[in-house]
Amino acid sequence: MLRLTLTQMRLNLGRLIAAGVAVMLGTAFVAATLLADDLIKQTMDASVSASYRGADVVVSNADAPASALAAVRRLPQVAGADAVSQVPVELVAGGRSETPLVGSLATTPELRTTRAATGRLPERPGEILLGKDLTDRLRLHVGDQVTARTLTWKDGAAAPTPQETRLTVVGLLAPTTGFALAPDAVATPSDVSRLLAEMGGRDRMSGLVVHAAAGVDPQQARDAVAAVGGWGEAAQIRTGADQIAADTRELTNGVDVLAAGLLAFAAVALFVAGLVITNTFQVLVAQRTRTLALLRCVGATRRQLRRGVLTEAGLLGLLSSLAGLLTGYALVTVVAQVLSHWQDVPIPATVRPTLLSVLLPLLVGLAVTVLAALSPARAATRVSPVAALRPAGAGGLRSRASRIRLGLSVGLLAVGAALLVVGARTSMDSHSTHGLPAGMAGGVISFLGVLIGGQLFIPRLVGLVGGLAGRFGGVPTRLAAANAVRNPRRTATTSAALLIGVTLVAMMATGAAVITATTDRALDTHYPVDVMIGDLPPGPEAEAAGPLTPVPAAVPAAVAKVPGVGESALLSAAQVQLSLASGSAGSGSWATAAAVDPARAKATLRDAGGLDGLAPGVVVVPREVARDAGRLQDGDLVRLTAGGRSVTLRARVTGLKVSAVVVVPADLRSVVPDAPTTMMWLRLTGDADARTVLDAVQEAMVTATGSARSVPVTGLAAERAALQNGINTLLLVVTGLLAVAVVIAMVGVANTLSLSVIERTRESAMLRALGLTRRQLRVTLAVEGALIAGIGALAGVVLGVLYGWAGAAAVIGGAWRPSLTVPAGQLALLLAGGVLAGLLASALPARRAARTSPVAALAE
């Protein structure tokens, strides 16, 4: 029996290889995920270990006096100890400013984790080591000077006092760790603690690393450090090894979640591969009906036939899983090689696979293949011995659409759809994501309904579309339309394989589009201004702060010329006293009054809702200012007073997110005739890269004013872009992962088509004899492939949009009202991709069919 199985496998090698590729891709996915997980964990372990180099004891989350360091250093078990401190410091050079984390260099040589890539380590106060990123941004070189700016709040002072320290760049920081939080710059401990003190940091420390004296057990050293006491309630005192283990555990939690997510995608890919396998074996069994019947005639038992098919599936599964494992390993190795050449990411160039990541892909691939072959194996046992005696011919494999199937499908669809709606509603009504579990369950259940019902509705859809196409196309199209529904079950399975992948991609695209559109609106409200030049108006106590810094006269014109800057608006501002018109003059609170032209503001702001109603005679009062001013209501008459002049305006209380009242320029001039321009709002053009424009704006200001920074530039556009980039990147990654499932489904389409070619060899030969040209024969198969794949893609796109909407509603419906948009361009691309996949899949089978000479086929 085994010999027979092997012979049959050899005969159908091409077919089995095509099916095996599907399993291989799925297994490679699983293997690559597990191996990447191994790799990341090993990298993290190495990286965390590096960041605790030489540390035998680590104190974290401490709240201890700085004097504790000296106490630890005096311990006999301790060779050296250093405080771990990192402080964000503003560094200024040539008008540019960055605020990196500055860490202190360990004084104990064994505990030093930083190295200088060029130059040297800071040895005395006044020296600093900077990361490559920072020197690029600040355009600094080794040997240049940089200014550290801190603001000190003196007791009782209304405004902070700026302090400046000149530092010399002595070297470039060597990149060390890929994952642990590392400082961007390193200075001597005394500089770091002084900067910390200037910024109001109390004389305390939060962490400590200790190098034990020679011959002292880390555990003893830990106990000695713990015994010093006064570390604070939350403090954790661990040996170095324990700390590394704890940190790695914390970091890899996230990786495990990621791996679980990736494995979910791999499961989808394997499921699709399973469908392809089922299809292939169904046809192999159908093709071998005569052989199987003959075997039954000469005495083979049903059990032997079933075992034969399952053995074949097992061998196929094992071999393709092995190939998949190797592919996954190669893939991860190549990626690791590429990344390890990329100097910022210290990844080991080779993967050390764990037993699990080798065995699991093999077992899963094998199990999927054998399970998928179960139903075809059962079909093999149903072949009656008499079948061998009948003449060979197109046997009717037509399966009747069962009522049970229809009922089950409709039932699942109804339950799933109901759960989807419930999920979305729950989230939206409860302002939470509580509806998510119901929504997910609904999605899975209804999709199961779709897959089960696919055998009923997919052939009908194919028939319908094919019929329409046939009316306009020639004979090849009509032939293709008729051929595509000749074996409804096979067409349905093939289409379904593609449908799964396309549905998921369409769902992700739609979900992302809805979330982007919705959060865009939310972002507009939160970040109405792309770029702000000038200081934010200080709070109500600003009277003492003196005059506001005006925007230099040369700036607006220079900035407006920067590429990427679109609309802009200028704001003038002055301090005024705000009081109810009915109150006595001179009473009321101080406030900043800003003036802007309403039309310019509308053009520049992404969401000008807070300025609604701004007009001559009106003062827009932000809700918070209204509250601070006391009992100020919408519609009240309000008096603005400054320097003996005053104007009475009608208050309009809005949700504007600034701490200033807003009027039109003319109204402000009537109180403060010479109010300076203190702020400029910019709106970036749609295609501009926020970070680049922001740098260019700063550059333009430096050039225009001829000096270092005079007024601050705040770019919320960058945050906004970062958020959108995050969503887009995620979408891209997910789409890439699901593309694997689509590729596998394509293998399925090609498989089905080549089976059709084999089954219809005589028919094709007859058509060729009757005058069907080779080209027409190829077109026939191409149209059939495009029909099967196109319908799968079409159904997938429609389903994906619905799932995307429901999913987005369940995820974000609680926070915002979702905008139900459709990413039409992407979906059209997906649909075109599906049809193209069908066309491509038909290429090889069609070649083969067209090459067969009519005589040879007729002679069979």
Partner 1 sequence: MTNTVPGRAPATLQTSSPTTAVRAAGLRKVYGSGPTAVTALDGVDVAFESAQLTAIMGPSGSGKSTLMHCLAGLDSATAGQVFLGQTELTKLSDNDLTLLRRERIGFVFQSFNLLPMFTARQNITLPLELAGARNLSRTRQDWLDTLIATLGLGDRLEHRPSELSGGQQQRVAIARALISRPEVVFADEPTGNLDSRSGGEVLAFLRRSVRELGQTIVLVTHDPVAASYADRVVLLADGRLAGEIHDPTPESVLAGLDALRAVR
- Summarize as ranges the residues that interact with partner 1 (CB under 8 A): 394, 474-475, 478-479, 482-483, 486, 762-763, 766-776, 853-855, 858-859
Contact by Cβ (8 Å): 607, 598: no
CB nearer partner 1, residue 292 or residue 781: 781
Q: How far is the CB of 775 from partner 1 (least distance, A)?
A: 8
Q: How far is the CB of 761 from partner 1 (least distance, A)?
A: 12
Q: How far is the CB of 763 from partner 1 (least distance, A)?
A: 7
CB nearer partner 1, residue 596 or residue 767: 767
Q: How far is the CB of 390 from partner 1 (least distance, A)?
A: 14
Q: How far is the CB of 459 from partner 1 (least distance, A)?
A: 13
CB nearer partner 1, residue 215 or residue 393: 393
Q: How far is the CB of 762 from partner 1 (least distance, A)?
A: 7
Q: How far is the CB of 689 from partner 1 (least distance, A)?
A: 55
Q: How far is the CB of 772 from partner 1 (least distance, A)?
A: 6
CB nearer partner 1, residue 480 or residue 704: 480
Contact by Cβ (8 Å): 549, 677: no
Beta-carbon contacts of 254 under 8 Å, excluding residues fewer than 6 positions away, are: none
Q: How far is the CB of 478 from partner 1 (least distance, A)?
A: 8
Q: How far is the CB of 758 from partner 1 (least distance, A)?
A: 16
CB nearer partner 1, residue 469 or residue 545: 469
Tokens 């293998």 correspond to what residue?
747
Contact by Cβ (8 Å): 639, 579: yes
Contact by Cβ (8 Å): 95, 109: no
- Compute the half-sphere exposure of residue 339: CA atoms within 13 Å on the CB side of its CA: 18
Q: How many helices (H) and strands (E) does the chain have?
A: 24, 24
- How far apart CA 750 and CA 840 sit, in angstroms, is 8
Q: How far is the CB of 499 from partner 1 (least distance, A)?
A: 24
Beta-carbon contacts of 137 under 8 Å, excluding residues fewer than 6 positions away, are: 96, 98
CB nearer partner 1, residue 56 or residue 784: 784
**3-state SS track over 472-488:** HCCHHHHHHHHHHCCCH
Contact by Cβ (8 Å): 361, 26: no
The burial class, CB within 10 Å (0-12 / 13-18 / 19+), for 203 is exposed
Q: How far is the CB of 474 from partner 1 (least distance, A)?
A: 7
Q: In this structure, what are the phi and psi dihedrals at residue 289, rounded to the nearest 5 degrees?
A: -50, -45
CB nearer partner 1, residue 421 or residue 482: 482
Q: How far is the CB of 466 from partner 1 (least distance, A)?
A: 11
CB nearer partner 1, residue 165 or residue 483: 483
Q: How far is the CB of 854 from partner 1 (least distance, A)?
A: 5
- How far apart CA 204 and CA 66 sit, in angstroms, is 5
CB nearer partner 1, residue 440 or residue 469: 469
Nearest to 23 by CA among 315, 384, 425: 315
- How far apart CA 827 and CA 802 sit, in angstroms, is 13
The DSSP line for 526-539 is H---SEEESPPPP-
CA dihedral 42, 45, 48, 54 (to 10 degrees): -120
CB nearer partner 1, residue 277 or residue 479: 479
CB nearer partner 1, residue 286 or residue 351: 286
Report helix, strand or coil for 680: strand
CB nearer partner 1, residue 374 or residue 469: 469
Nearest to 845 by CA among 801, 772, 783: 783
Compute CA distances 296 → 1, 12, 299, 301, 384, whole Å: 12, 21, 5, 7, 7
β-pairing, 589-595 vs 660-663, is: parallel
CB nearer partner 1, residue 544 or residue 858: 858
- How far apart CA 632 and CA 612 sit, in angstroms, is 18
Query: How far is residue 722 CA from its own chain's centroid?
Result: 11
Contact by Cβ (8 Å): 650, 615: no
CB nearer partner 1, residue 31 or residue 462: 462
- How far apart CA 820 and CA 815 sit, in angstroms, is 15
| AA identity, residue 148 | A
Q: How far is the CB of 310 from partner 1 (least distance, A)?
A: 32
CB nearer partner 1, residue 775 or residue 817: 775
Contact by Cβ (8 Å): 679, 533: yes
- Work out the widest C-alpha separation in the chain, in whole angstroms: 117
β-pairing, 96-98 vs 78-83, is: unpaired
Q: How far is the CB of 500 from partner 1 (least distance, A)?
A: 28
CB nearer partner 1, residue 351 or residue 767: 767
Nearest to 829 by CA among 858, 853, 797: 797
Q: Outline where 288-350 has alpha helix (H).
A: 289-297, 302-341
Contact by Cβ (8 Å): 206, 61: yes
- How far apart CA 757 and CA 736 sit, in angstroms, is 32
- How far apart CA 625 and CA 642 sit, in angstroms, is 18
The burial class, CB within 10 Å (0-12 / 13-18 / 19+), for 589 is middle
CB nearer partner 1, residue 636 or residue 759: 759
β-pairing, 531-533 vs 78-83, is: unpaired
Q: How far is the CB of 839 from partner 1 (least distance, A)?
A: 22
